[in-house]
Chain A
């Protein structure tokens, strides 16, 4: 061979240092740097407590759930701008259904999941069969969901249903062992249902993407759709399924959002789709498709939570620095991505 490679012997080190994980490592390292910085600066006022850490998950759990689906869409090389509207619509359906019509949230939850999946299939089909750019297709989906949401009601409707209350109140309080006895961690730290769903979805997403044939096909379609077709992969089915799964995730995220705010509002989560996309991009997902990991997306969500937390702990800085920091992070990550891509290109040549 012209070049000597690391060899096929798979040591643990070579497996960890696999270049395909570079972007994920970058995200984790930047998260750690920011976290350590926070710990040094604000450790004395509670930055290092487990509760603060769990709150990183709690703050953006619904975005995180949606980001799982979004990551898959981005891996196919597509984009979905309708996620936030579908979440909002879900909230509205549940709230309006119970408060105004007296329908049990169980049914409206099922209905909204059906709507999410249905809209996903519709958009996926338009993208694949009609060749309409994903951007325009899903923007239309966004308008449709938001518009229908506003047609239902323009007020913020609060929900007071035992099931919702119970689900929202569901908490797993964390204990730790002190002198042989289980005691509650101080300050009291508990994990809410949205966080559980979020973590569950990350795990399910990882399994789906890494350990099933479907996941492999998704990566293949994103890597090179033409090649995927020539390799005999079911491109149409894969693409449509990805949008359907994303619709499911959006509806689920909407349910999680309802559990947090216990109300439905037609203008809820405006611009949320871009928050979700930026979570995935910061987590190392390439917008050009083919690259991305659920675990990276999870750290992307954490990174989006840690910055506002730092600003809160600082106490002097204003919230808008969060936006600028997010923009700067995005810039940093796409420049890193560009560098990685052009480095591998150069290596090949």
Chain B
């Protein structure tokens, strides 16, 4: 490994409407090293990658490739300059064959040649597959390997792997690592993004950590421990100081929700949980650990294939979100843009939507009622807008989130599920949303709070459930102390080590 940097990014800034996705981030890559890029969701890893590959365009900063300044304008341009990428979502064409996918857009196109070369390439990955079949015929893992193969086969100076291992099993990961080691020997610089900490220690030389679009630091892998790393990733927003405490639970609080052995293949193996009236239960765990999936099952967004759900002592059948709403369950989804806001509708319409759905369209809220509802929540949640008729799509992230919250508060739910309600919004809005959550608990509403930021989970929850690999790995009962965070991190990092007894 040489000390010479083949890639240097300095002071990169990218701004999306309402959000500063990257704020003065530096990054450097040496020839022949594997450099891990770390951070929680929304930290700006993917944005940084997309800036380097010409998908997004930087607002400020410089990129030096081999000492020359470059401005990638399109993925095609980036590939020509020797930057090859495997994106997080599999970016291949499902209708083309495996061989075609590897060679499309390149010199070779004759079927006989590309089939032969693709088969050879796949052998290198120990994949014995028919490369003439369409890509959609194969599992996600194979598709992922194919997209890696494509990126590797292009003779590049820099190889970017954005979460390449998310759908690979242990053997496949080892295979990928051996390929990566070969590439290292050839002097190729590899940028490696992953959520799996063990893999970072197995393959990486250095790491750069991002948080909320800002640089935390660049470290040598050897000099930083696992726990230290997680702390740096998840962070302690010391600049945010509120006086928020979990609400005092009532002594005789009844059961609100009981889920027994619910599960769905591919998402959650099996989980049982119980939530009391007015209780705030935090869900901790890494992405893909099953925390979101559990919430979706309770809400009927994904139908559980097994188990029973009981609301207020009554067994309910929840087939679709509507059933859940009728049973007093509300759900703020994780992906605000995709599953939350109806972008072109006004704030008023967005707020009244769930209430209206509950009533059915033949029993409309009058315009007056709608206005009252909208005004009430705009005031209560201090949504920053000139009036209720502004399109929700034109609001900032935090205000959008508040409108979604208002939509569900308006249905007067018994159980409110919030999946990452504070992601990608500024500190002030975060604090307000947490305050609102606690106020609702005060009123007897039960809340499930899912967040990647441990700080806020610990700050608000009465109880914390820790998820790992699609199952419950531990459960901690409040009140929490300074040591709780470490304990949670330990469970996340190393699996269940008798977390059940903790705190009891």
Contacts and interface: CB of A to CB of B under 8 A. Distances in A.
Determine whether A and B are in direct contact in the complex, meaning some CB atoms lie less than 8 angstroms apart: yes
B128 A7 contact: yes
A15 interface: yes
A15 B134 CA distance: 12
A3 B171 CA distance: 13
Q: Do most interface residues of chain A lie in helix, strand or loop, or is the interface mixed?
A: helix
A8 B130 contact: yes
A212 B458 CA distance: 59
Contacts, number: 121
A5 B138 contact: yes
A231 B75 contact: yes
Given A213-B109, A223-B96, A226-B91, A14 B130 contact: yes
Interface stretch (A127-135, A296-304, A341-349): A341-349
Contact of A6 (B74, B130, B141): B130
Interface in A1-23: 1-3, 5-8, 10, 14-15, 18-20
Interface string A224-244: 101111111110000000000
A211 B109 CA distance: 7
Contacts of B80: 232
B408 to A, nearest CB: 30
A290 B95 contact: yes
Nearest to A8: B119
A231 B137 contact: no
B266 A19 contact: no
A2 B169 CA distance: 9
Contacts of B382: none
A112 to B, nearest CB: 33
Q: Do most interface residues of chain B lie in helix, strand or loop, or is the interface mixed?
A: loop
B250 interface: no
A228 B93 contact: yes
B91 A227 contact: yes
Nearest to B77: A232
B349 interface: no
B174 interface: no
Contacts of B53: 230
B92 to A, nearest CB: 6
Contacts of B140: 348
B87 interface: yes
Interface in B84-140: 85, 87, 91-97, 100, 104-105, 109-111, 115, 119, 122, 126-134, 136-140
Contacts of A219: 93, 95-96, 100
B451 to A, nearest CB: 28
A235 to B, nearest CB: 9
A173 B57 CA distance: 64
Contacts of B78: 232
Interface residues of B, number: 47
B231 interface: no
A38 interface: no
Contact of B132 (A15, A217, A222, A228): A15
20 contacts: A1-B126, A1-B127, A1-B128, A7-B128, A8-B119, A8-B122, A8-B130, A211-B110, A216-B109, A219-B96, A222-B93, A222-B95, A223-B93, A223-B95, A229-B75, A231-B75, A231-B91, A232-B74, A232-B77, A291-B95
Contacts of B85: 230
Interface string B136-167: 11111110000000100000000000000000
A291 B136 CA distance: 12
Interface of A: 1-3, 5-8, 10, 14-15, 18-20, 210-213, 216-217, 219-220, 222-224, 226-234, 290-291, 344-345, 347-349
Given A5-B130, A8-B129, A347 B137 contact: yes
A345 to B, nearest CB: 8
A231 B111 contact: no
B79 interface: yes
B295 to A, nearest CB: 20
A15 B133 CA distance: 9
A19 B137 contact: yes
A222 B93 CA distance: 8
B137 A211 contact: no
Closest 3 A/B residue pairs (Cβ): A223-B93, A232-B76, A290-B95
B381 interface: no
B92 A227 contact: yes
B55 interface: yes
A232 B128 contact: no
A226 B91 CA distance: 8
A20 B97 contact: yes
Given A10-B115, A224-B93, A19 B134 contact: yes
Contacts of A19: 133-134, 137
Contact of B105 (A15, A20, A220, A290): A220
A219 B141 CA distance: 23
A1 B53 CA distance: 31
Contacts of A18: 132-134
A348 B136 contact: yes
A233 B130 contact: no
A234 B109 contact: no
